[in-house]
Amino acid sequence: MILIMHTLQVTRQAFLLDHLLKHCAGLKKTKIKQILKYGSVRVNGRVVTLHRHELKPGDTIDFLSQKDAFAERLKTGLDFSVVYEDGDLIVVDKPAGLLTMGTEHQKEETVYFKLTEYLRTKSDNGRGRVFIVHRLDRDSSGLVVFAKNEATKHALQKNWAETVKKYYAVTEGVPEEKEGRVESHLEEDKFRRVYRVNKESRKSRRAVTHYRLLRENGRYALLDVTLETGRKNQIRVHLSDLGHPITGDTKYGAQSNPIKRLALHAHHLSLPHPKTGEIKTFTSKLPAPFEKILKL
């Protein structure tokens, strides 16, 4: 049984560390960072260790005792769902805001780091590794597959063209065509912004996206998007080029952000198992906040 030591209600947008400094009298910044590191803080029932986690009005923060925080970490050590796991693969449902892999400035608050710790906890010898097969943008959510060994990684990447990848995207406005195909060549500039180019070049890469309208309310549309190619920011650029950027995607022209996140979710992965050849299909349900947009 989890013992909740204290509960805080969030009334204004802020970073988690700043909020705790303001509302936890007597606790210094170093102590709060330590509490976060050891998984003693939950936001809306989910353990959060990132001190720059963005809080929204209505969020609830609670604190676990050291004993219960440790028990939570031992249970999975994860603050996201493992959809599937066997001796070769592990498929997870990544939350929005979490990096797939580390950067120069952020090493630990990533799916890769957390899965590595999870596998080490499970193993008899304290060893465990995962290998990155593909990535999701930090602001996107949904299914990501990792390999547990190099042979599986190479097999998955070699046959990645056979993988079916589908996303839910909520766009501003409604596309004229209920189904469509977008093809263009994409380049990335020095600011890491991807954009369409009119002519193919050595730097550009061909990108093809298919979409199908599922629902709309006049202001917003829910699309089922299938990737034929897998380029960086491909869906975001292509939907923006259609004149219907994804809500929350200010980088590519969105004017609204009703749920304070990018409304893009990887909901379907179907791929041949690298060892058995069996087609494995994984799905993730439509995030509840997406439903809220469609009711606006």
- Banded pLDDT at 72 (limits 50, 70, 90): low
pLDDT at 2: 37
State the amino acid at position 94 in one-letter form: K
Residue 263 and residue 258: Cα distance in Å, rounded? 9
260 and 182 in a common domain: yes
Structural domains of the chain, count: 3
52 and 119 in a common domain: no
Structural domain for 19, as ranges: 4-75
* CB atoms near residue 217 (< 10 Å): 12
pLDDT at 74: 45
255 and 190 in a common domain: yes
N- to C-terminal Cα separation, the chain: 39
Q: What is the CATH number of the domain that holds 132?
A: 3.30.2350.10
Domain limit, last residue, from 75, 104, 123: 75
For the stretch 234-249, pLDDT in tens is: 999 999 999 999 999 9
Q: What is the CATH number of the domain that holds 55?
A: 3.10.290.10
Q: Which residues are catalytic?
A: 137
Domain limit, last residue, from 122, 157, 192: 157
Please say whether the beta carbons of 94 and 142 come within 8 A.
Answer: yes
Residue 24 and residue 8: Cα distance in Å, rounded? 9
Residue written as tokens 């309310």? 217
Residue 196 and residue 192: Cα distance in Å, rounded? 13
Domain limit, last residue, from 21, 47, 75: 75
pLDDT at 109: 85
Please say whether the beta carbons of 42 and 61 come within 8 A.
Answer: yes
94 and 144 in a common domain: yes
For the stretch 27-58, pLDDT in tens is: 788 888 878 877 778 888 777 777 778 898 98
